[in-house]
Amino acid sequence: MRALLAEDAKEDELSRRDAALEALGLCSNEELVEGAPLSSGEAEILEYVRSKVPPTDMAELDEYWVLRLVRGGQTTPQRFEEAVATFGRVARWRRELSKHRLDDEFEARMREFATRCVRSVVGGEDLYGHVVWVEQLLDVQMMTEGPRGEMLLARGRLTEGIERFKRAVASRLGVMRYKQIYVLDLAPLSVGPLLGSSDVRAAVEDLISFGSKYYPEGTFRIFIVNAPLVFRSAYAILSPLINPTTREKIRILGPNFLDVMRASGIPTESVPELVGGQHPGREVLDLVLTPKNNPPRGGSFSEMLEDERVSLFTPPPPDEDPRATLFHPPPPDDDLSPVSSTQQRLVRYLGPHRFHPNPRRLTTVGVNVVWTAAFVADGEIAIARSALGHAHHWPQVALTHTMGSSSAV
């Protein structure tokens, strides 16, 4: 009975959201197929992947990851081999991450990274259930301090916090959602270190490519906000070179961006106060370091993920902190099926985007300055380097595109 009541509540909530989406002229939750069963073409790719990727690697990836990865790069001629490479790369990363122990020294270093270098805050969600993730670039010069691998591992831990939070939010609605709304706020960024230090630029490029390599196909919409006029001008020149499917996901906006987000199905109440919204926000750092989300000393990250799988679709008590729901045990009378039957719970949506741009730098001709201008999250796209020369001599730019290697923070 309790489970039935929970399902009714989820249906009521989705109906309310669908009414709001209809008023905005947007598709409904039912038309969104983020978790729909694989199409025949996708199933063919998955069958090929399973014939090529070792079972030990496939075992690292649950249904979320399989769905997410198999839908990337569907438009490229090399999609079969690219899918094999992506599955293997992500699986190896997750295996390595599971071996890493969270000790006090690393936690202190990660806290320093998250407070000095990239501030990362999560807010509410859009009308589809996609979490709103906001980041600000602060002291990018810090990226050159200490081992580069340690910085990327810290980034991985923070991203895992987002991944678990997305699953917890989706479980409340009883839907499959593995994408987020990503907002990059350029207001605090100083371009001085980017212009003056090749080491800083190299570190930023590593950070940019990290998400696309190990957390691809994770972004539903991208908003680069408080963008300077010069950046918006450069993007206007580069945007015709970007695949239309990808370009449609990106909005480069000045300070008046909340209205655009609201028209895209993202209530102002879901946007963190950090960038002018009305949601108090939570530091992503807290999603990693709270005792409920942190495995016991000596425990592995894979053990924590096993705990997560058990309770993935367990609705939390109404007054419980969302961070706690990741490990909330199912009530005794809960008849929700285990996560292994996720495919039966998937909801249809508008259809996956299937394009991944390449992270290789934009090659430029006749430039005085190469400016690393903006980058976005979790394996979707980067407009990472735009060349600004004399006003009368704009660069010629060439882009190459491959799946699974897109630049992202």
Give residue-wise pLDDT tens across range 349-364.
223 332 233 323 322 2
pLDDT of residue 26: 95
Choice between 82 and 194, residue whose per-residue pLDDT is larger: 82
**Confidence band of 24 (pLDDT split at 50, 70, 90):** very high
Rounded CA gap, 115 and 118, in Å?
A: 6
Query: Per-domain residue ranges for the chain?
Result: 2-33+98-356
383 alpha-carbon distance from chain centroid: 16
Residue-wise pLDDT for 88-105, tens only, equals: 999 999 998 888 777 777
pLDDT at position 190:
64
Higher pLDDT, 179 or 111: 179
Q: What's the mean pLDDT in 42-57?
A: 94
Q: Where are the beta strands (DSSP E) in 258-310?
A: 282-283
CB 397 within 8 A of CB 364: yes
- Rounded to an integer, the average pLDDT of 287-297 is 54
pLDDT category at 134 given cuts 50, 70, 90 is very high
Pick the closest to residue 71 from 371, 407, 404, 409 (CA basis): 404
Cα–Cα distance list, 129 to 34, 36, 37, 94, 228 (Å): 11, 15, 19, 25, 30
Res. 45: pLDDT tops 80: yes
Residue 4, pLDDT score: 53
Residue 227's Cβ-side half-sphere holds a number of Cα atoms within 13 Å equal to 24
Per-residue confidence band for 108, with pLDDT thresholds at 50, 70 and 90: confident
Q: What class is the 2-33+98-356 domain? A: alpha beta
pLDDT of residue 221: 93
Q: Could you give the percent of the chain with pLDDT greater than 70? A: 64
Res. 305: pLDDT tops 60: no
Q: What pLDDT score does 131 carry?
A: 97
The pLDDT value given to residue 266: 98
> What totals of helices (H) and strands (E) does the chain contain, helices first?
14, 8
More confident residue, 372 or 233: 233
- Are residues 408 and 83 in contact, defined by beta-carbon separation less than 8 angstroms? no
Q: What is the mean pLDDT of residues 146-151?
A: 73
The fraction of the chain above a pLDDT of 90, given in percent, is 31
Per-residue model confidence (pLDDT) at position 391: 29
